[in-house]
Amino acid sequence: MSRSAVTLPITGMTCASCASRIERRLNKLDGVTASVNYATERASVDFDAATVAPEDLLAAVESAGYHAVLPASPDAPRATAPDPAAAQLADLRRRLIVSAALARAAAAGVAALVVESDPNALPFYLARGAVRIAERASPSTGRALPLLRLSTG
């Protein structure tokens, strides 16, 4: 009889009853002695490797409605976990780019409204290099109206 021990990380537990349910399910297997800790979300399992395969332990946890994985062997190459700080930085960068694009569009819209409502404001924006002018025909009168575009440089 060859005894083996494994510690299984378990996800999906929400209370001590969940840990108890998993522990009972594991202990029903022949040659298995298990202890599940809700606080650490881990199951310490001693089992007879001749009668129970590690995959059977996972199946027992899955049948109870939870998820467990076998720990990686020490010889196996470890995959690098994604850095949470890098993921957060990428999310912030994406938000900044979207916000800048929306702010630019809003500024162009406001400038166009100001110039259409008060054509005398146009020199103010031109002097600061904030806009460049194109013309478009008014749909109602056909007369040329200034079309403002934000300067890109």
Domain boundary among the residues 68, 103, 119 is at: 68
Instruction: Give the tens place of pLDDT for each residue, 82-114.
Output: 677 888 888 889 998 888 888 877 776 666 666
Who contacts 12 (Cβ-Cβ below 8 Å, separation ≥6)? 18, 65, 66, 67
Q: How many domains does the chain have?
A: 2
Q: How far apart are CA 83 and CA 25, in angstroms?
A: 35
Cβ(70)–Cβ(58) under 8 Å?
yes
Q: What is the pLDDT of residues 9-30, one digit of tens each?
A: 998 888 999 999 999 999 999 9
Note whether 88 and 125 are same-domain residues: yes
> What beta strand segments (E) does the chain contain?
3-11, 32-37, 42-48, 67-68, 131-137, 144-150
Span 121-140, mean pLDDT? 61
Strands (E), 38-126: 42-48, 67-68
Distances (CA, A) of 135 to 27, 69, 116, 144, 146: 81, 65, 12, 6, 5
Give me 41's structure tokens. 């979300």
pLDDT tops 70 at residue 66: yes
Question: Does 79 reside within a domain?
Answer: no
Are 88 and 145 part of one and the same domain? yes
Instruction: Report the length, in residues, of the chain.
Output: 153
The pLDDT score that the predictor gives to residue 74 is: 60
Percent of the chain past pLDDT 70, that is, above it, reads: 63
Q: Is residue 78 part of a domain?
A: no
The verdict on residue 53 lying in a domain is yes
The last residue of a domain, from among 37, 68, 99: 68
- Token pair of 21 as six digits: 């349910």
Q: Which residues form the domain of 129?
A: 84-150
Q: Are residues 108 and 61 in the same domain?
A: no
Asked if the structure places residue 75 within a domain, the reply is no
